[in-house]
């Protein structure tokens, strides 16, 4: 086994341990949800014609079913099946019955648990999960929709996956994705790190406590998560490769500075009941927004509805996919 193969084997083992653990799906701190509700979701609603986070997936599927005929959905990296089972329940509540959702998941343990949950919720005929590796995905048959929810940044063979998706989506299909598009390993780009360091130097000490490491940090956390896992393994390649193969129908991108301060490690330091904390978060988001709009930094998170054939683009102001690409030095 080569050193590269050994590193990949270690990454696979680490990835499986993480996503089979109870803490893999822990919710984000409340301050992160505050930021999403106030700043992210209104723009997502505007671009994607939605009213809630769930609408991001349900709205295009509901529109498709209105035209008649069964709808097929493939969800990549389905994990414990929470998103897929929730989507099925939402569709049934919306009066849609003619659909089937397949979840592709690498972990056999998660596949078995998700199928058990489908049976327990009476959704066995609507949702099913199977074991497989999205790095080696083959174009077996066309689907109306493919969901990639926070999974593309775990894919090392992006070219193979995207090529397969061009055949799976065919003419008229849509890829619905939320994902990380920043620097590999979720490291900050140098120009972004400079701004993060400036923010950090003026932060109250109480904001610098890491609830993961159980200690105060002297500098903002910025480690390469891809060294021991597939976390962000090729994040910076996602958007450029998609632009080569797909047409973006709806697109919104954000982030860069904010998530380095508001995350699972530091986020619990902020309270939505504390006016000083909220003022800090509001100013942080304003800085992030101004830096993106001024071209100082590129966003690190995207939401997109993507097709194979050309589509007219709806985006927020001038944040087109092309303008959000950060070309490596």
Report yes or no on 26 lying in a domain: yes
Number of domains in the chain: 1
Considering the chain, what percentage of its residues have pLDDT values greater than 70?
A: 92
Confidence category of residue 5, pLDDT binned at 50, 70, 90: very low
Q: Rounded to an integer, what distance in angstroms lies between the CA atom of residue 241 and that of residue 270?
A: 37
Instruction: Provide mean pLDDT across the span 166-171.
Output: 94
Residue ranges with strand state E in the chain:
71-76, 99-105, 127-131, 145-149, 174-180, 209-210, 215-216, 247-254, 301-307, 314-315
Confirm whether 88 is domain-assigned. no
302 lies in some domain: yes
21 falls within a domain: yes
Q: Which residues span the domain enclosing 241?
A: 3-48+133-324
pLDDT digits (tens, 9 = 90+) for 182-220: 999 999 999 999 999 999 999 999 999 999 999 999 999
pLDDT band at 1 (very low <50, low <70, confident <90, very high): very low
Residue 305 covered by a domain: yes
Handedness of CA 107, 108, 112, 118 (dihedral sign): positive
- The percentage of the chain sitting over the pLDDT mark of 90, rounded to a whole number, equals 85
Domain for residue 230, yes or no?
yes
pLDDT in tens, 78-112: 999 999 999 999 999 988 899 999 999 999 999 99
Residue 79 in any domain: the answer is no
């Amino acid at each position: 086994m080569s050193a590269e193969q050994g590193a990949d084997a270690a990454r696979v083992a680490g990835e499986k341990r993480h996503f089979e653990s109870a803490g893999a799906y822990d919710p984000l701190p409340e301050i992160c949800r505050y930021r999403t509700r106030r700043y992210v979701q209104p723009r997502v609603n505007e671009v994607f014609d939605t009213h809630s986070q769930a609408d991001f997936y349900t709205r295009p599927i509901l529109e498709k079913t209105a035209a008649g005929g069964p709808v097929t959905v493939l969800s990549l990296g389905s994990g414990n099946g929470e998103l897929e089972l929730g989507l099925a329940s939402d569709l049934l509540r919306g009066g849609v019955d003619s659909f089937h959702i397949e979840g592709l998941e690498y972990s056999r343990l998660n596949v078995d648990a998700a199928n058990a949950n489908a049976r327990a919720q009476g959704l066995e005929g609507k949702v099913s999960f199977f074991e497989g590796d999205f790095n080696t995905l083959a174009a077996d048959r066309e689907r109306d929709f493919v969901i990639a929810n926070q999974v593309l940044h775990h894919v090392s063979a992006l070219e193979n996956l995207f090529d397969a998706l061009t055949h799976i989506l065919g003419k008229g299909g849509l890829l619905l994705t939320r994902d990380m598009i920043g620097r590999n390993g979720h490291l900050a780009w140098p120009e972004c790190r400079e701004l993060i360091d400036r923010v950090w130097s003026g932060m109250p000490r109480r904001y610098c406590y890491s609830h993961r490491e159980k200690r105060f940090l002297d500098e903002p956390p910025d480690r390469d998560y891809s060294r021991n896992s597939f976390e962000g393994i090729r994040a910076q390649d996602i958007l450029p490769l998609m632009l080569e193969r797909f047409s973006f129908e709806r697109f919104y991108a954000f982030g860069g500075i904010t998530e380095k301060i508001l995350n699972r490690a530091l986020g619990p330091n902020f309270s939505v009941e504390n006016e000083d904390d909220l003022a800090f978060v509001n100013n942080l988001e304003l800085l992030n927004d101004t830096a993106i709009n001024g071209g100082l930094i590129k966003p690190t998170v995207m939401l997109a509805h993507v097709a194979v054939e050309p589509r007219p683009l709806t985006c927020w102001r001038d944040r087109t996919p092309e303008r959000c690409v950060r070309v490596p030095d």
